Structure 1
Amino acid sequence: MSDRPNDFSELPSYKASRRSLFSARKFALMASVVAGLGVAAYGLSPSNSPVDIFTTTAHAQVDKQVKSQAAQPVGFADIVERVKPSVISVKVNMKEKVASKDDDNNGDSPFQPGSPMERFFKRFGQDGVPPGMRGGPRGGGRGVVSGQGSGFFISADGFAVTNNHVVDGADKVEVSTDDGKTYSAKVIGTDPRTDLALIKVEGRTDFPFAKLADGKPRIGDWVLAVGNPFGLGGTVTAGIVSASGRDIGSGPYDDFIQIDAPVNKGNSGGPAFDTSGEVMGVNTAIYSPSGGSVGIAFSIPASTVKTVIAQLKDKGSVSRGWIGVQIQPVTQDIADSLGLKKAEGALVAEPQADGPAAKAGIKSGDVITSVNGTPVKDARELARTIGGFAPGNTVKLNVLQKGEDKVLSMTLGQLPNTVEAKADIDGGDKGSSSRGSDVPRLGLTVSPASSVAGAGKDGVVVTGVDPKSAAAERGFKEGDVILEVAGKSVTNPGDVREAIVAAHNDNKNSVLIRVRSNGSSKFVAVPLAKS
């Protein structure tokens, strides 16, 4: 190749392209001469000398094509060589507990009972565990259980990131580096809500480490997953970013990057690198009906990792802001019922008594539309935004309250470590349809809550549901307690009917109902029957 920086004339691909184009030119010229149009093939310059249009145009096109190909990576070897030493294999040992009837037959689950990851896999696997992720016999005695995962160094002095579910409950943690050496590690802090953990390896200050990316990946970007699948050690797979902002139902802060790079058991806690060698996310979960990779994996974004790890390093735990409300998405039906132009914001199902929101004047049925002037797209975004503030910070919320825009200021509390929801209905006598009263436009039969044992004093209890009704389609069931209809509190079937009639007279196509079900409140928009 010539020493000139932009001279591609010696490249084999360039020569082949030139030969192909010259042959095409000759063929086109012959065809033109046969047709009596030879001059059109060459054209004439102002001096009547022939100009090789084919050669001139083709030369520029080939130059552009070859330059473009030269700018693209032929493979990922250079990137892998640079980043792979920062990735570690994580092995944990933990004491096995005695199985009990409360384990719900999930003794071989790799995740803690009730954890966000167990709830996620319960949706896609059997008995709370996806096929292919079982770790062997568990329960029925005491012993030592070992597990494996992945991680990566984030500093030269031995701080490393992995998943909470990899090290949760561990008595002993060991890490193996890319050069085959093994070190003991201690758990600095964990955050079950985001499934992140920070561990520390002592004894060295020259560990190779990876940098967390500052930017947000785009859908279609290349991604490299490096980890310890099935205990095989440093393994690299490649794919693309398939989607972003994924909610997999593992918790209120779901904001996963979806990738199609093959990820398997043992990759948990490992990094997902971009083509600049920075960590765009931490691999944490897969969707796998078969137990192996099917091209759907989920990574925690680097932006979340930075925030969480900083707090874990500082104090070993994560403190999040809290306003004390039950919230839900604003669906199109709910937006129509409230007279909203767009199905955006977070609908307050119920403010917690004496919580920051209740003290600031937020009420059931309010829609929170922005925080400190930044629009809130949906309920998940509100949870993530508030959770990103430290307790004690003051925020301003834009709230739509009974059709009026308000700006409310409040000081954030601290999110409790555990939030228990207690059902107000004990499952006792819920009454019978003969005691209730029909609400034909909804397909429900209801009775005053005060007349049903265990239902409390507020609202009306659903004692019957027409299986063909819109209410049944929206999930209403016997034992649910209706607290409000169209923004009005109800205590008897007559109140419900009056609210329905008022909504009908206002030409509403649906009515918004606040219902308490399974211990929590929510709003449901139910279409009104025509008859």
Structure 2
Amino acid sequence: MYERLLRSGPVLLVLMLLASLSVQAAELPDFTKLVDENSSAVVNISTTQKQGGARQSPFTDRQLEQLPDFFRRFFEGPNGPPGGGNGHGGQTPLSSMGSGFIVSHDGYVLTNNHVVENADEIIVRLSDRREMKAKVVGTDPRSDLAVLKVDGEDLPVVELGDSGQLQQGQWVFAIGSPFGFDYTVTAGIVSAIGRSLPSENYVPYIQSDVAINPGNSGGPLFNMDGEVIGINSQIYTRSGGFMGVSFAIPINVAMNVFEQIRDQGYVSRGWLGVLIQEVNRDLAESFGLKRPRGALVAEVVPDSPAEAAGLQPGDIILSYNGESISLSSDLPPMVGRTPVDEDAELTVLRNGRKKTLDVTIGELPDETQQAQRQNGGGEPGQGAGPLGLTVEPLTEQQRRKLNVEGGVLVRDVGAGPARNAGIRRGDVIRKLNNETVASVDDFRRIAADLPEGRAVPVLVVRQGQPTFLVIRTGG
């Protein structure tokens, strides 16, 4: 076809190619109007700490050292990295930069907690170069959010979106001050939603490939309607700079925190009182699930709402208030946003059967108090040969030290199913094949009756942390 066009009309071919390029260009998003409409409500935040001390940085000193000097100094400030000394007793002021945005005409500003933590002075600078001193209204380290207030009237504000409507693949863009370069715009797409990070289980993060770097922290993430749908908070990096994986706090989570801080001065979250773990393929098989899903209860905290509702270790929570749980990380945000003292309905799988439990949600404590539990006794003896391990009863002193009730101590692990399952010397076995192990005799009896050639769960406590493993017997 192209040969015929070349013979009959080279000009026509050029026109067709230009038209094709124009169509492709028209399909790409244009951010110019959106940036112009929203930049005025985005602010640069600079902080000063008079005494060198425990400033929290989203990057390690080693990561900062890997940045070029020219860029690194914008994040560190003139006197070295946040939290670092200067060789003179730490008395020289430390500076750092971040971003934020105005959410009310009278001057409420949202940013990250780590941007303003331990700061003695906070300066908010607008796009028209006005500078205002800000005071901290309140912070929530669990979600890494801070609410600031500046004195002002009729200030520009952002338009807030609904992060619950966000979809993977949507175009988004950020405005912030990476490395101190004010009002830098970067764009990309939503890579994933509902991400759980080790540092915070109560925030279902938005993952994007928008370029975020030191100084972007606390700045807004916009959708293509010009609405803020997230607050840029963290990046995954091995170099100290952007590597294509950025995380933002959903605006629905952020506004819930903002309203609680504004109205009551602190943030409260719902609390169930369980330690959970992911259900992998082997665990799913051992518990009789057709596919991995749900949140496996490894431990129930004493005197918690979960204990009052009758939850047990080995239960798999399949749904919360009718909302299915695919990954264990789905559960904490659901519980966290539930009002304290409100009732919730759990669907759990217990011993192969579904069961419905009603629970009254408590308030998440600042630090979970672990009750001291004691249980003496235990018969001398050794374990079950077919599994390839030797067990013995726990002494009273060991129970107090390990803070466990019941169970048997693994004294030795040889070749066999136990070693293959990952059981180690010093583990405490509390449940085997969903049966409670209170003594060596219990362990022997349960181990002797294990089905051949099938995966079965075993609950162990290792260094104070309960976790489920899977044992496969021969056959």
TM-score with structure 2 length normalisation? 0.83
Matched, 1:509 2:454: yes
- SS of the aligned residue for 1:207 comes to coil
Contact 2:318 2:346 in 1 (8 A): yes
Q: Which amino acid aligns with 2:473?
A: L
Q: Which of the numbers 175, 183, 194 marks the counterpart of 2:124?
A: 175
Query: Distance in 2 between the 1:369 and 1:68 partners?
Result: 47
- After TM superposition, give the deviation of residue 151 of structure 1 in Å: 0.7
Partner of 1:294: 243
Which secondary structure does the structure 2 equivalent of 1:291 belong to?
coil
Partner of 2:45: 90
Any conservation in 2 of the 1:422–1:519 contact (CA below 8 Å)?
no
In structure 2, how many angstroms separate the alpha carbons of the residues matched to 1:165 and 1:136?
11
Identify which of 465, 468, 475 aligns with 1:520: 465
CA-to-aligned-CA distance 1:272-310 (integer Å, 9 cap, x gap):
112221112111111111111122111112222232222
Where do 1:196-235 residues align within 5 Å? 196-213=145-162, 216-235=165-184
Deviations 1:84-120 (A, max 9, x none): 111111112235466xxxxxxxx7x734xxxxx6xxx
Residue among 29, 32, 39 paired with 1:77: 32
Partner of 1:192: 141
- The one-letter code matched in structure 1 to 2:464 is G
State the shift of 1:265 in Å. Answer: 0.7
Deviates more, 1:254-263 or 1:283-292: 254-263
The alpha carbon displacement at 1:465 in A equals 3.5
Q: Which amino acid aligns with 1:288?
A: T
Selected match of 2:255 from 282, 287, 306:
306
Residue 489 of structure 1 is matched in structure 2 by 436
In 2: Cα distance, 1:469 partner to 1:318 partner: 50
- Equivalent residue, structure 1, for 2:113: 164
Separation of aligned partners in 2, 1:446 and 1:130: 50
**Paired position in structure 1 for 2:395:** 450
Structure 1: stretches of 5+ with no match in the other structure: 1-19, 29-54, 99-106, 112-116, 426-434
1:246 positional shift: 2.1
How big is the alpha-carbon RMSD for the aligned residues of Structure 1 and Structure 2? 3.3
Q: Which amino acid aligns with 2:84?
A: R
**Does the CA-based 8 Å contact 1:131-1:288 persist in structure 2?**
no
Pick from 57, 69, 84: which aligns with 1:138? 84
Secondary structure at the residue paired with 1:252?
Answer: strand
| Matches for 1:94-113 after TM superposition, within 5 Å | 94-96=49-51, 110-111=56-57
Instruction: Please tell me whether the aligned partners of residues 224 and 238 of structure 1 are also in contact (alpha carbons under 8 angstroms).
Output: yes
Alpha-carbon distance in 2 for matches of 1:476, 1:96: 49
Question: Partner residue of 1:10?
Answer: none
Question: Displacement, 1:191?
Answer: 1.6
Task: Tell me which amino acid in the other structure corresponds to 1:403.
Answer: G
Residue from 342, 359, 368 that aligns with 1:419 = 368
- One of 277, 283, 289 as aligned partner of 1:334: 283
- The verdict on how the C-alpha distance between 1:214 and 1:355 changes in structure 2, with shifts beyond 3 A counting, is closer
Matching residue of 2:412: 464
What letter is aligned with 2:40?
P
Tell me how far apart the structure 1 counterparts of residues 204 and 216 of structure 2 sit (CA, whole Å): 19
Number of the residue aligned with 1:480: 427
Q: What is the alpha-carbon distance in structure 2 between the residues aligned to residue 194 and residue 524 of structure 1?
A: 31
Q: Could you tell me which amino acid in structure 2 is paired with residue 77 of structure 1?
A: T
Q: How does 1:120-131 map to 2 (within 5 A)?
A: none
* Contact 1:439/1:493, CA 8 A, preserved across alignment: no
The one-letter amino acid paired with 1:231 is G
- Of 297, 302, 311, which residue of structure 2 is paired with 1:362? 311
CA contact (8 A) 1:327 1:346 kept: yes
**CA drift at 1:220:** 2.5
Q: How far apart are 1:451 and its partner, in Å?
A: 7.4
Q: Give the structure-1-normalised TM-score.
A: 0.75
Q: Could you tell me which amino acid in structure 2 is paired with residue 476 of structure 1?
A: I
Q: Cα offset for 1:403?
A: 3.0
Paired residue for 1:154? 103
**Greater strand fraction, Structure 1 or Structure 2:** 2
Q: Which amino acid aligns with 2:299?
A: E
Partner of 1:496: helix, strand, or coil? helix
CA gap 1:312/1:485 in 2 versus in 1, 3 angstroms? same
| Cα distance in 2, alignment partners of residues 24 and 92 from structure 1 | 64
Q: 2:226 aligns to what SS in structure 1?
A: coil
Q: Deviations over 1:319-339 (max 9, x none)?
A: 111122222222222221111
Specify the code of the residue in structure 1 equivalent to 2:270.
G
Matched, 1:399 2:345: no
Q: Aligned letter for 2:224?
A: T
Partners of 1:353 and 1:280 lie apart in 2 by: 38
User: What's the CA shift string for 1:359-378, capped at 9, x where partnerless?
Assistant: 12222212222222222223
Please give the per-residue CA displacement for 1:238-290, whole angstroms capped at 9, x wherever unaligned: 22222222223112124222222211111111111122211121111111111
The residue aligned with 2:70 is none
Give the one of 319, 341, 353 matched to 2:302: 353
Q: Letter of the 1:291 partner, please give it.
A: G
Deviation at 1:483, TM superposition (A): 0.9
Task: Give 1:260's aligned residue.
Answer: 209
Partner SS, residue 202 of structure 2: coil
- For residues 279 and 297 of structure 1, what CA distance do their matches in structure 2 show? 16
Q: Which moved more, 1:399-408 or 1:189-198?
A: 399-408
- Residue by residue, what CA displacement relative to the aligned partner does 1:387-423 show, whole Å, maximum 9, x if unpaired? 1111011112222233332222222111101225689
Contact 1:450 1:457 in 2 (8 A): no
Aligned mates of 1:149, 1:517 — CA distance in 2: 40
Among all aligned residue pairs of Structure 1 and Structure 2, give the percentage whose two residues are the same amino acid. Answer: 37
8 Å contact 1:212–1:306 — kept in the other structure?
Answer: no
Q: What's the secondary structure of 2:395's corresponding residue?
A: helix
SS of the residue 2:238 aligns to: coil
* 2:39 alignment partner AA: K
For residues 278 and 394 of structure 1, the distance between their equivalents in structure 2, rounded to whole angstroms, comes to 33
Deviation per residue, 1:32-83 (Å, 9 max, x gap): xxxxxxxxxxxxxxxxxxxxxxx9xx9xx99996995585456322211111
Gaps of 5+ in 2: 68-74, 375-379
Change (3 A) 1:126 1:168: closer
| Residue identity opposite 1:522 in structure 2 | T
1:149 Cα deviation from its structure 2 partner: 1.0
